[in-house]
Amino acid sequence: MPDQTLAAQDPPVPPPPDAAVVVEDLVKRFGDVEAVRGISFAAAPGEVFGLLGHNGAGKTTTIRILTGRSRPTSGTASVGGHDLVADREAARAELNLVFEDQNLYLRLTGRENLALFAQLYGAPPERVDALLRRVGIEHAAGRKVKTYSTGMKQRLLLARALVNEPRVLFLDEPTRGLDPLSARTLREIVRDLAAAGTAVVITTHDMTEADELCDRVAFLAEGRVVALDTPRELKLSLAARRAGRHARVTLDDRSEHEVPLDDPADRRLTEWQAAGRVLAVHSDEPTLADVFVALAGRGLDDEDGDDGDDPGPDAPSDGARKWWHWLVWPYRPGGRR
């Protein structure tokens, strides 16, 4: 069962005046399905903000709205001080996105891919090579992207998302499928961006990554924010609510022992320490994944596939689906992914 105590949210507070991303009472419906149900949060410049949740929780829909690719049913969202409905063009100039899919032009070279978007954004041409160097693929800039490895493509995606020097950078599952070295490089770049004042909003299923990268995280479940705090506070909140906390102690004879931490009568740990026999102590501090399970009542891998909550801006509306369903059999309603 979900931990309702942990899920309880603080009363809404007004976003700081300099917030890079402000979301208030955001709602998105697709026909009868309510994918996002009144989400509110804000992200400050230089902050790495995580949007976490299981498949279908509303993460992708929220990101779509925040990147101007989908319109909210109600509520407001702004990026860089520009409303995403009323002033979408200005808001888009302030943001960019590292897509979950490696949506690059495979028959173009890395430089051609980057140059196209640099020109579309009106960025100076020298930025293309600078970004290729920054993400470490300048040696392959003249090669067609179809010859790139997954890690190289992901780096190019990141470079593309930086061509307009966005104030807000969205990353959708940025390290999925990457080898540890590439993932680490990408995280370092994200940290550098945040240090330089870019607000970073990241969605990920990787709780370790979220724990490592994010200053704050919002847990989404069924279209709602069920918890919003720093990873540390969320973990400690769960730990404080847990009964029977233990430490696992490994002694010099390689034997392992579980020692209760909330039983003052059990003094074994103190004695082993005094005798110099302790090789390792592992606490059972909850991880962010534990927090997630407690909040959502299920693990992250309970559902297959990606967020199935948003058919995307170019998918037909429900009415159109019904109309086309019988007319055009090759089209599978909702079966895009």
**Interface with another protein includes 104 (CB under 8 A)?**
yes
Judged by CB under 8 A, the residue of 108, 236, 239, 300 near another protein is 108
Q: How far is the CB of 229 from another protein (least distance, A)?
A: 30
Please count the residues of this chain forming the interface with another protein, following the rule CB under 8 A: 37
Separation CA 294–CA 288 (nearest Å): 10
Report the nearest approach of another protein to the CB of residue 40 (Å).
Answer: 23
Q: Is 331 in the site for another protein (CB under 8 A)?
A: yes
Instruction: Please choose, out of 207-215, 225-233, 264-272, 309-317, the segment that lies near another protein by the rule CB under 8 A.
Output: 309-317
Tell the smallest beta-carbon distance from residue 96 to another protein (Å): 7
Cα 274 to chain centroid distance, Å, stands at: 45
| Nearest residue (CB) to another protein, 264 versus 330 | 330
| Beta carbon of residue 307, minimum distance to another protein (angstroms, whole number) | 14
What sign does the CA torsion over 148, 152, 154, 156 have? negative
Q: Is 116 in the site for another protein (CB under 8 A)?
A: yes
Longest dimension (CA), the chain: 80
Would you say 29 and 73 are in contact if contact means Cβ atoms under 8 Å apart? yes
Nearer to another protein, 155 or 160 (CB): 160
CB atoms within 10 A of CB 276: 7
Nearest distance from C-beta of residue 120 to another protein, angstroms: 4
| CB-nearer residue toward another protein: 76 or 287 | 76
**Least distance to another protein from the beta carbon of 164, Å?**
8
Instruction: Give the 3-state DSSP-derived string for the chain, with helices as H, strands as E and coil as C.
Output: CCCHHHHCCCCCCCCCCCCCEEEEEEEEEECCEEEEEEEEEEECCCCEEEEEECCCCCHHHHHHHHCCCCCCCEEEEEECCEECCCCHHHHHHCEEEECCCCCCCCCCEHHHHHHHHHHHCCCCCHHHHHHHHHCCCHHHCCCEHHHCCHHHHHHHHHHHHCCCCCCEEEEECCCCCCCHHHHHHHHHHHHHHHHCCCEEEEECCCHHHHHHHCCEEEEEECCEEEEEECHHHHHHHHHHHCCCCEEEEEECCCCEEEEECCCCCCCHHHHHHHCCCEEEEEECCCCHHHHHHHHHCCCCCCCCCCCCCCCCCCCCCHHHHHHHHHHCCCCCCCCCC
Is residue 107 involved in binding another protein (CB under 8 A)?
yes
- Which residue from 74, 232, 320, 334 is in contact with another protein, where contact means CB under 8 A? 320
Pairing of strands 48-53, 199-203: parallel
- Of the pair 99, 212, the CB lying nearest another protein is at 99
Nearest alpha carbon to residue 16 among 37, 48, 41? 41
Which of 92, 127, 155, 187 binds another protein (CB under 8 A)? It is 92
| Footprint on residues 39-78 left by another protein (CB under 8 A) | 67-71
Nearer to another protein, 100 or 229 (CB): 100
Site string for another protein, 160-189 (x = CB under 8 A): x---x-------------------------
The nearest distance, CB 235 to another protein, in angstroms, is 35
Least distance from another protein to the Cβ atom of residue 101, Å: 5
Q: Least distance in Å: CB of 263 to another protein?
A: 55
Binding segment toward another protein, per CB under 8 A, in 180-188, 260-268, 292-300, 328-336: 328-336
Q: By CB under 8 A, name the one of 26, 52, 97, 226 that touches another protein.
A: 97
Residues that bind another protein (CB under 8 A): 67-71, 92, 95-97, 99, 101, 103-108, 112, 116-117, 119-121, 160, 164, 312-317, 320, 324, 328, 330-331, 336
